[in-house]
Amino acid sequence: MLTIIISVGVLLVLFLAAFCLWKWGNVRCIGETPVPLFTLISILFTSGLDVGLIMLPLTEFPIYADTGANPEYAFANPLAIEFGFWGFLIWSFYFLTSFYFCVIEPRVRFFEIPLVRILNNVVIMGTCAFTASLFLANLPSYIPEMGDGKNVIGPFYVITLLVILASAVTATDIKYLRLLSLASVWMFLALIVGLAVHADIGPTTLGRTLSGVNEYFTHLDRFVLPMNDYHEFYLFWWFAWSIMIGQFTSRFVGGLRTWQLLLALLTIPSIPIAVWFALLYHYHLHAIDTSGLVNLSMIVVGSVFVINSLDSLIRLYTDNLGLTVSRLGRWRHITMNVALLFALAVMFQTQWLRIQWIGSVVVGIYLACIGYLLYAHRERVAAINSSPDDRVLDFERIKATH
In this predicted model, what pLDDT tens digit does every residue of 346-364 receive, in sequence order?
Answer: 999 888 889 999 999 999 9
Domain span at residue 7? 2-401
Q: pTM of this prediction?
A: 0.90
Report DSSP letters for 39-75, one per residue.
HHHHHHHHHH--THHHHSHHHHHHHHH-TTT-GGGTT
- pLDDT, tens digit, 9 for 90 and up, residues 16-41: 999 999 999 999 999 888 888 777 87
Question: Closest Cα partner for 337 from 351, 349, 325?
Answer: 325
With cut-offs at 50, 70 and 90, classify the pLDDT of residue 394. low
Looking at residue 396, its pLDDT comes to 65
CATH number, domain containing residue 259: 1.20.1740
- pLDDT, tens digit, 9 for 90 and up, residues 243-287: 988 888 898 888 899 999 999 999 988 998 999 999 999 999 999
Which residues are CB-neighbours of 250 under 8 A, at least 6 positions away?
29, 31, 97, 98, 99, 100, 101, 102
b/e string for 73-83 if b means 16 or more Cβ within 10 A? beebbbbbbbb
- pLDDT, tens digit, 9 for 90 and up, residues 160-213: 999 999 999 998 887 777 777 778 778 888 999 999 999 999 999 999 999 999
Cβ atoms of 191 and 301 within 8 Å: the answer is: yes
With cut-offs at 50, 70 and 90, classify the pLDDT of residue 400. low
d(CA 27, CA 103) in angstroms, rounded, equals 9
Which pairing describes strands 28-30 and 254-257: parallel, antiparallel, or unpaired? antiparallel
Looking at residue 47, its pLDDT comes to 63
Question: What percent of the chain is helix, strand and coil (3-state, nearest 5)?
Answer: 80, 0, 20
For residue 175, give the amino acid letter.
K
For the chain, what is the domain count? 1
Cβ atoms of 116 and 110 within 8 Å: the answer is: yes
- pLDDT, tens digit, 9 for 90 and up, residues 46-75: 666 667 888 889 999 999 999 999 999 999
Which residues are CB-neighbours of 221 under 8 A, at least 6 positions away?
none
Which residues are CB-neighbours of 381 under 8 A, at least 6 positions away?
104, 107, 108, 373
Looking at residue 395, its pLDDT comes to 64
d(CA 297, CA 290) in angstroms, rounded, equals 10
How many residues make up the chain in this entry?
A: 402
User: Can you tell me whether residue 9 is helix, strand or coil?
Assistant: helix
